[in-house]
């Protein structure tokens, strides 16, 4: 397993194409963009790599450019609780960056992923200078609160079909993951890691959701046909 130091050593500046998919970048002024570009870095995280770990001090605000990440924590008994997945377009850790505190969760790559980071000092500089950036972060925090309330509800659900449906709906949040679109590139095993079920049980749930017209299973991923159904219906 790679270490956080190896991720740091693999960092590089972002390409123009990678900058174009950052949802908050287009909200900045010319001068603010120039300041952000100075400190933005991207690195390749391999499957199993930890982007950040519980107890480590915050140094960057992170976003997924490509791939799939998992946000989780371990309790005193060694059990892992998964909070959510982070698909492409998702930025996370703004609460930790705001308070400049240590992480209270782990972020791990489920597959090879491109992860961008904005230094925490630049994050605070943008908060001090950019109204557009402030609004983006405020919307992130508000939406994140709802996401974690929903995650607690999902964690207590005993119906695995509903558990899979609600977890998928969370991954298609248009505010937190604006660049995702209607198709999520994810395997059944990766989804099983996120929802805390076996791959076989996830496969059964996906079959039921497909029959109900909520999703379509495609090669290498899932297409959402009825997002509202995933959020509200009982399967």
Tens-digit pLDDT profile for residues 143-158 = 888 877 777 777 777 8
Give the per-residue pLDDT at 5: 56
Average pLDDT estimate for 160-175: 90
pLDDT score of 103 more than 60: yes
Name the residue ranges covered by the structural domains of the chain. Answer: 4-151, 159-232
pTM, 2 dp = 0.86
Average pLDDT estimate for 7-35: 94
Give the per-residue pLDDT at 3: 46
- 45-71 pLDDT per residue, tens: 999 999 999 999 999 999 999 999 999
Region of poorest pLDDT, from 40-49, 117-126, 178-187, 211-220: 178-187
User: Same CATH fold, 159-232 and 4-151?
Assistant: no
pLDDT score of 219 more than 60: yes
Tell which CATH architecture fits domain 159-232: Orthogonal Bundle (1.10)
CATH classification code of 4-151:
2.60.120.10
Give the per-residue pLDDT at 1: 45
Read off the pLDDT band of 76 (50, 70, 90). low
Contacts of 195 (CB under 8 A, 6+ apart): 82, 154, 163, 164, 167, 202
Residue with tokens 């059964």: 204
Average pLDDT estimate for 216-228: 90
Tokens of 187: 């395997």
Contacts of 127 (CB under 8 A, 6+ apart): 98, 133, 134, 137
Average pLDDT estimate for 16-30: 96
């Amino acid at each position: 397993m790679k270490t956080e130091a190896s991720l740091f050593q693999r960092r590089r500046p972002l390409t123009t194409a990678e900058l174009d998919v950052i949802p908050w970048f287009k909200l900045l002024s010319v001068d603010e963009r120039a300041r952000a570009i100075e400190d933005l870095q991207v690195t390749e995280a391999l499957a199993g790599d930890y982007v950040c770990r519980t107890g480590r001090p915050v140094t960057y605000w992170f976003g997924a450019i490509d791939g799939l990440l998992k946000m989780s924590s371990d309790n005193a008994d060694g059990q892992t609780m998964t909070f959510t997945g982070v698909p492409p377009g998702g930025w996370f850790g703004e609460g930790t960056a705001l308070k400049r505190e240590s992480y209270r969760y782990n972020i791990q790559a489920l597959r090879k992923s491109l992860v961008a980071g904005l230094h925490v000092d630049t994050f605070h500089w943008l908060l001090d200078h950019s109204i557009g950036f402030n609004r983006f972060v405020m919307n992130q925090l508000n939406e994140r609160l709802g996401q974690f309330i929903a995650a607690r509800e999902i964690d207590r659900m005993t119906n695995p079909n509903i558990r899979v449906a609600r977890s998928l709906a969370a991954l298609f949040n248009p505010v937190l993951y604006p660049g995702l679109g209607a198709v999520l590139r994810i395997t059944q095993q990766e989804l099983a890691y996120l929802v805390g079920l076996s791959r076989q049980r996830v496969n059964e749930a996906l079959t039921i959701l497909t029959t109900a017209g909520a999703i379509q299973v495609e090669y290498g991923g899932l297409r959402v046909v009825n997002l509202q159904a995933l959020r509200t219906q009982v399967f």
